[in-house]
Amino acid sequence: MEKLTNPTRYKWATIIGLFLFVVISVLYVVLGRVNSDEGWYLYAGKLVYNGQLPYQDFAFTQTPLLPYVYGLPQVLLSPGLYLGRITSVLFSAIGLLLSLSIARRFGGEKAAAVACLIWASFATGIYFQSIVKTYALTSLFFLLAFFILTRDEESEIKYSLAVLFVLLATLTRLSALFFAIPIIVFSFVVSKAKTRWIIIALCTAAAVGFLLLIGPNLEAAYWGLLGNHLSEWGNLSIDERISVIIKIRIPKLVDRYLNYFLLWCGLLVIGLKRIVFFLKTHAEVRIVIIGLLLFLIPNLTSGFMLSEYFVPFLFMLIPIAGIIFEKIDIDRPHYKAVLLRLLFGAIMISGLIWHSTQYLDLSGDRLPIEEVREAAAVVEANSSPTDEIYVLEALTVVVEADRQAMPNTTMAQFSLFDGDTATADQLHLVNSQITLDYFEQRIPMMVILTSFDWVSLSKTPDYDGIAASLNKNYQRIYTAKNFGQNMNQIDVYILKEEP
């Protein structure tokens, strides 16, 4: 049994996990399906460094930090999807190293190795932390707070830093507030008077800065942060919503991440006593778990729920799983050890193959981002940097071409608003009437529409006029199939010369 307990073997397992993580991350950077949200997150980064503000000058459906973080490398280097994805992978890699450090602190090399292998085999999660969305940055701030909060030394600064990181997470994704609250309260209670004043100052600064940002246009901020999401519930009562959550959403979530659900069921059944003992003696870990459980609430109750919302939650559980795995002491010749090893192997294998291939885009003869770049090259060749382009779902093309989207089309497919013109203007969106006016008045130099956009426009009262005006004033110069997240056809139009 000496070989099994040799720390060198666990270090090699960690190295294998790190290598696997790098390979899968690179695979998703290159071959990962282009997500429509990547366009509006990166375009928002361009806007903020051009002096515009979220909510006040353009629509944005998250708290405001992400554009400033992702926009900086886009400004300093060459803008585009590849750089955005590399930025995400960098955040994800730092998160992995933090996760390993946390696991190693409580469980040694064995816990670190287990955590690393689970992380590296969570292919679905790695995809969502390799593309440009909120998950990589949110997970990083979560893990930074976890890392600093569980340090052994009693330095007061760790509580201030933990609060800072959860506030940054909240400023990245609003639902992170539920994770932040117990950590802020715990840090305030256990810290000394001087640190408490620092915590109060940090919370006050974050709240005041956020209120100053949303204050000038509360309607747009409310739509972006809450109204747009909650409206998906329609007219369902509270009881009906609870029923949907219990009977539909939770079972779907369990089914989507069944392997990790079974992992935790196995850990709880096999090592419940050791888990309880560990949590009793580590208050900081208890607080983190409470925060994670609270984090489930806004994601389960959102008007529209996607399984990807829970990626930060699952990544945060990974170092804890590694620690618990080590505490159960699997090296003993016991049937529990055999069951745990079998379970761990099954989790790794299923994590690598379960749903992961659905995020690879192998539909064409070019890499997915190269397909975007091909359309972007057409746009770049037929427009100047000052020309404005009407675009919805294919905002990624405008990002790659480093061009300007029409005002109020900065939320990609979510820019098309089903409502009156005055409200659309207030929310920094466009409706069918505004779209019709744009085309009739020949305002955009180019128009980029996908078949997904045409389906959305066909449901509006101005569809016939939009189609006729586009045909009259614009000519198609490029078309391609299997484009983007929804594998649609994309068409690029350019303004015709005046008759």
Beta-bridged to residue 391, according to DSSP, are: 448
pLDDT at 342: 80
* Global pTM value: 0.93
d(CA 77, CA 91): 17
Sign of the CA dihedral running 244, 254, 351, 24 = positive
Question: pLDDT class for 334, splitting at 50, 70, 90?
Answer: low
**pLDDT per position as a tens digit, 465-476:** 999 999 999 999
pLDDT at 155: 77
**pLDDT per position as a tens digit, 149-186:** 998 777 779 999 999 999 999 999 999 999 999 999 99
**pLDDT per position as a tens digit, 191-231:** 999 999 999 999 999 999 999 999 999 999 999 999 888 88
pLDDT at 466: 96
Every domain of the chain and the residues it spans: 2-31+80-356, 368-495
d(CA 321, CA 460): 50
* Amino acid at site 354: W
Question: pLDDT class for 363, splitting at 50, 70, 90?
Answer: confident
pLDDT score of 101 more than 90:
yes
Question: pLDDT class for 348, splitting at 50, 70, 90?
Answer: confident
pLDDT score of 70 more than 70:
yes
pLDDT at 3: 44
How many other CB atoms are there within 10 angstroms of residue 113's CB atom?
27
Q: Using CA atoms in the order 343, 345, 350, 356, what is the torsion angle rounded to 10 degrees? A: 140
pLDDT at 124: 92
Which region holds residue 384: left if phi is over 0, alpha if psi is between -120 and 50, else beta?
beta
Least confident interval from 16-30, 124-138, 230-244: 230-244
Tell me which residue has tokens 């429509």: 36
pLDDT at 364: 67
CA distances 319 to 106, 117, 204, Å, are 9, 11, 31
Task: Describe the crossing of helices 7-31 and 81-121 by its angle, rounded to 10 degrees.
Answer: 140
pLDDT at 355: 67
pLDDT score of 338 more than 80:
no
Beta-bridged to residue 478, according to DSSP, are: 492
pLDDT at 340: 76
pLDDT at 136: 97
pLDDT score of 372 more than 50:
yes
Residues of the chain above pLDDT 90, percent: 76
Q: Using CA atoms in the order 263, 267, 270, 272, what is the torsion angle rounded to 10 degrees? A: -150
**pLDDT per position as a tens digit, 418-433:** 999 999 999 999 999 9
Say which residues have a Cβ less than 8 Å from residue 246's Cβ, sequence separation at least 6.
Answer: none
**pLDDT per position as a tens digit, 236-283:** 999 999 999 999 999 999 999 988 898 888 888 888 888 898 899 999
100 contacts 14 by C-beta, under 8 angstroms: yes
pLDDT score of 365 more than 90:
no
pLDDT at 333: 56
pLDDT score of 331 more than 60:
no
d(CA 112, CA 108): 6
Beta-bridged to residue 450, according to DSSP, are: 490
Tell me which residue has tokens 């955009």: 444
For the chain, give percent helix, strand, coil, nearest 5: 70, 5, 20
pLDDT at 6: 64
* Amino acid at site 422: A
CA distances 491 to 93, 204, 324, 397, Å, are 37, 48, 53, 11
Round the average pLDDT of the chain to a whole number and report it. Answer: 91
pLDDT at 423: 94
With H, G, I as helix, E, B as strand and everything else as coil, classify residue 89: helix
* Amino acid at site 88: S
d(CA 367, CA 213): 39
Burial code (b: 16+ CB inside 10 Å, e: under 16) for 321-342 equals bbbbbbbbebeeeeeeeeebee
**pLDDT per position as a tens digit, 375-409:** 999 999 999 999 999 999 999 999 999 999 999 99
